[in-house]
């Protein structure tokens, strides 16, 4: 079974802090994604990556950056956390762009 | 402008009956559609998909129907079971746009025993 693991289930950070959300997948998938889920807004794509050191902006990249130094790991970085970044963050991977995505369990981030 | 819409935020169904979840889209470039199920405190899991060249795909109790002319798809669950209670997300993929998926807001299905 594909496993996508996010490093934290719950995080509480202060406004202005730099926040790292880590995601690791164990199935050698080329493609990895970061989404955020908010009530009434569904899942919105922040960034995605189709290869190591490659990244593409999604629909809402502002205030975020990503890093993919190794194939199995995709990190989401909040450069200076703000309260409007309080959300559920979901990482996903897929074997190809047309395939179904496998999601991690999510990280509930609260910025105070 | 929301390109994928699930107009019913919630649906309640009796166990054993049919559950029908609906999804509408506006982008005619979408050519692949997926349904995901999400339980509380877990990430979404893939349920079933359909290519735009088909109008129906079936997997056990789950069937997805696609009406391209109406830009509408639906997920049928027959018979519904209490364990099906979850949030269901519709997603659409545009393979001319780097294969990115666009998700709907989700529909919360409650199956009552």
Q: Does residue B97 have a pLDDT over 80? A: no
Give the residue from A42, A55, A97 with the most B CB atoms within 10 Å of its CB, the best one to mutate. Answer: A42
Full strand arrangement of the beta sheet holding B72-77: B4-5, B19-25, B72-77, B62-67, B56-59
Q: Which helix (H) or strand (E) holds A71?
A: none
Sign of CA dihedral B47, A110, A51, A71: negative
The model's pLDDT over A13-71, given as tens digits with 9 standing for 90+, comes to: 999 999 999 999 998 998 999 999 998 788 999 999 988 988 999 989 999 999 999 99
* Residue pair B39/B83 in contact by the 8 Å Cβ criterion: no
Q: What is the pLDDT of residue A46?
A: 95
Q: Do the Cβ atoms of B43 and A90 come within 8 Å?
A: yes
Any chain B CB within 8 A of the CB of A44?
yes
User: Tokens at residue B96, please?
Assistant: 């001319």
Please tell me whether residue A106 adopts helix, strand or coil conformation: coil
Q: What is the pLDDT of residue B98?
A: 63
B96 — pLDDT class (breaks 50, 70, 90) = confident
Q: Nearest CA to CA, how far is B69 from chain A (Å)? A: 22
User: Tokens at residue B31, please?
Assistant: 């050519």
Q: What is the pLDDT of residue A41?
A: 83
* Residue pair B28/B89 in contact by the 8 Å Cβ criterion: no
The model's pLDDT over A67-88, given as tens digits with 9 standing for 90+, comes to: 999 999 999 999 999 999 999 9
Average pLDDT score, chain B: 93
Q: What is the pLDDT of residue A44?
A: 92
Q: What are phi and psi of B84, to 5 degrees?
A: -80, -10
- Report the number of secondary-structure helices (H) and strands (E) in chain B: 0, 11
**Mean pLDDT of all residues in B46-60:** 95
Q: What is the pLDDT of residue A98?
A: 65
Q: What is the pLDDT of residue B55?
A: 95
* Residue pair A24/A69 in contact by the 8 Å Cβ criterion: no
User: Tokens at residue A83, please?
Assistant: 């309260």
User: Tokens at residue A31, please?
Assistant: 């493609």
The model's pLDDT over B2-50, given as tens digits with 9 standing for 90+, comes to: 799 999 999 999 999 999 999 999 999 898 999 999 998 889 999 999 9
With vertex at residue A101, the alpha carbon angle to CA A100 and CA A103, rounded to the nearest 5 degrees, is: 145
Q: How far apart are CA A102 and CA A95, in angstroms?
A: 9
Any chain A CB within 8 A of the CB of B17?
no
Q: Is B16 left (phi over 0), alpha (psi -120 to 50) or beta?
A: left
Q: What are phi and psi of A53, to 5 degrees?
A: 65, 10
């Amino acid at each position: 079974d594909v496993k996508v693991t996010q490093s934290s289930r719950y995080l509480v950070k202060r406004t202005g802090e730099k926040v790292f959300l880590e995601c690791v997948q164990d199935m050698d998938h080329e493609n990895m994604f970061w989404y955020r889920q908010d009530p009434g807004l569904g899942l919105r794509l922040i960034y995605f990556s189709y290869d190591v050191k490659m990244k593409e902006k999604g629909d809402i990249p502002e205030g975020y950056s990503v890093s993919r130094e190794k194939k199995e790991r995709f990190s989401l970085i909040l450069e200076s956390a703000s309260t409007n970044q309080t959300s559920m963050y979901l990482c996903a991977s897929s074997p190809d762009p047309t395939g179904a995505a496998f999601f991690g369990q999510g990280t509930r981030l609260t910025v105070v | 402008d929301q390109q994928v819409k699930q107009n019913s935020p919630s649906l309640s169904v009796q166990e054993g009956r049919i559950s029908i979840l609906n999804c509408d889209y506006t982008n005619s470039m979408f050519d692949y559609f997926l349904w995901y199920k999400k339980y509380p405190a877990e990430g979404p899991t893939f349920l079933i998909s359909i290519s735009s060249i088909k109008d129906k795909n079936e997997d056990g109790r789950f069937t997805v129907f696609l009406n391209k002319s109406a830009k509408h798809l639906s997920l049928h669950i027959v018979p519904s079971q209490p364990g099906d209670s979850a949030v269901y997300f519709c997603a659409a993929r545009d393979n001319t746009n780097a294969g990115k998926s666009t998700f709907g807001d989700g529909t919360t299905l409650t199956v009552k025993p």
